[in-house]
Amino acid sequence: AGGRRPVRYARPTLAARAARVLRDNDTGAVITAAPRLYPHMWSWDAAFISIGLARLDLPRAVAELETLFKAQWRNGMVPHIVFTDDDAYFPGPDRWGTDNAVDGPRNARTSGICQPPVHAIAVQRMLEIARTSSPQDRADAERFARSIWPALYSWHRWLVEYRTPGSSGLVAIVHGWESGMDNSPRWDVPYAAVNPGEELPPYVRKDVRIIGDPSERPTDKEYDRYLWLIEEMRRAGYDQKEIVRSSSFLVGDVFITALFAVSCDVLIELGTEFGQPASQLADLAEWASRAREAVAASCHSVSGMARDRDLRANRWLDTQTIAGFSPLLCGGAPDEVQLRLLSLLDSDRWCGHPDLLAPVPPSVSPMRPGFNPRQYWRGPQWPVVNWLFGWAFERRGWHERARKLREAGLRLTDDGAFGEYYEPFTGEPLGSTDQSWTAAVVLDWLC
Ligand code: 2M8
């Protein structure tokens, strides 16, 4: 499949280009998620960005996560966007209307929802990197890991206290944006029940003006629903209990739940090393084990794939996407289910599909109806998702699998465009280019 793209950078050049992307996207205050499309700080992007930056400039990496956590809400939520003054993105802070939210932060303007909890993972990875670079980096990273720990704990506690309703044990989301996989077919069924009211204030999208081909982005109909959910939350004054009680979208997200389980494990490791309170370590152990059980309990009896759960309609969501492999991230599923998932991942339905440019798992299987190789979270490959699976496999001791994913990720991204996502067959970069988190994971793979 080689040669379909004109340029393939050698690794040192690729690393230099990735470093330049992070430098160029630095406004001085934050590193934006992407230069034009996303001129603000996104929560999980910032975590990945810090991992990439840790190799280049540890103090800058630390500052990035500190900026994010300065905007943490007083109830513990880490907001999905921390806004800069740039007004090129919609919906901006005025549309979110969080300025007067009771639990909102005082010194930053933010959105009113969250994103996947990968921050503990980032802190631990930064620490690992710093320990191999210099005594100064090591000391700084240790100081940082110790000082950020209570904020990470309260973020995890928020997810349990406010976002684990009912008996499924899954961490629930109240907006598809919280999943990070905005328009994934995972959410089609629950979104079908979201009916934008007449009172939806008018709006103009800005994303489709920036991305030349609007079919790479969610549709207008999807955006109406995204905006309607914000409207509901605004009206509830961003009162979490009320939102979870009444919003028209409430879904147990299995991918977030798996990341939460493994992030709790990581937080326990960090907390043990840095002498954090035993009672909080015990909380984390309990949360991790409940989350893991919830992920295992969601697995389909035939396919083995993990499933989200529509908590409004009280039913499993059977759509098969990359999130179905969540048990591989956190463990805890029976061996037999895990083996089934691993062979499915290797099969021609996923990474082994003969026409892929690089064996990176696509967001949706190319063999599924509804797969769209160009549209956002409905088919393209996402380098960050590949990084997460590689990181988890390494942690689980599956070194050869981790190495293969790293090589595949580098093959996909060696065009040096740092695409937000990639067309799986041609390797064409789609969405934004010079996307910060793509540059960051490439740096981590290369070093
Ligand atoms: C995408 O999401 C934003 C909304 O949060 C958007 O489309 O406007 C997603 O890919 C999300 O996972 C990511 O964090 C964000 C910034 O890269 O872009």
**Digit-coded pLDDT (tens) for 187-225:** 999 999 999 999 999 999 999 999 989 999 999 999 999
For ligand 1, atom 13: residue with the closest CA: 180
Tokens 């440019």 found at: 357
Ligand 1 pocket mutation pick from 177, 186, 227 by most atoms within 8 angstroms of CB: 177
Q: Is the CB of 191 under 6 A from ligand 1?
A: no
pLDDT digits (tens, 9 = 90+) for 57-69: 999 999 999 999 9
How far is the C-alpha of 300 from the C-alpha of 310, rounded, in Å? 15
Strands (DSSP E) contained in 258-317 are 308-310, 315-317
State which H helix or E strand residue 251 sits in. Answer: strand 251-252
The complex's ipTM? 0.99
Tens digits of per-residue pLDDT, 155-194? 999 999 999 999 999 999 999 999 999 999 999 999 999 9
Q: What is the pLDDT at residue 417?
A: 97
Ligand 1 centroid to Cα of residue 399, in Å, is 30
How far, in Å, is the centroid of ligand 1 from the Cα of 115? 10
**What's the CA-to-centroid distance between 163 and ligand 1, angstroms?**
21
Query: What's the CA gap between 247 and 175, in Å, rounded?
Result: 9
**Which residues are within 8 A (CB) of 87 and not within 5 positions of it... i.e. 6 or more apart?**
none
pLDDT beyond 50 at 3: no
- Rounded to an integer, what distance in angstroms lies between the CA atom of residue 296 and that of residue 334? 8
Mean pLDDT of the chain: 97
Query: 255-267 burial by CB neighbour count: b if 16+ within 10 A, else e?
Result: bbbbbbbbbbbbb
Q: How far away, in angstroms, is 14 Cα from ligand 1 center?
A: 24
**Is there an atom of ligand 1 within 6 Å of 45 CB?**
yes
Cα of 281 from ligand 1 centre, angstroms: 32
* Nearest residue to 223 via CA among 211, 208, 233, 234: 208
- Say how far apart CA 340 and CA 299 lie, in whole Å: 11
Q: Among the atoms of ligand 1, which is closest to the Cα of residue 180?
A: 12
- Would the CB of 226 count as within 6 Å of ligand 1? no
- Alpha carbons 306 and 296: distance in angstroms, whole number: 7
Does the beta carbon of 114 lie inside 6 Å of ligand 1?
no
Give alpha helix (H) positions in 181-253.
188-192, 207-210, 220-235, 240-246
**Quick one: how far is CA 367 from the chain centroid?**
24
Give Cβ neighbours of residue 223 (< 8 Å, ≥ 6 apart): 205
- Could you list the beta-strand ranges (E) of 94-240: 172-173
pTM over 0.95: yes
Q: Which atom of ligand 1 is nearest to the CA of 181?
A: 12
Q: What CATH number should be reported for the domain whose range is 42-352?
A: 1.50.10.10
Chain-centroid distance of CA 4 in Å reads: 29
Q: Is the pLDDT of residue 6 over 90?
A: no
Write down the domain spans for the chain: 42-352
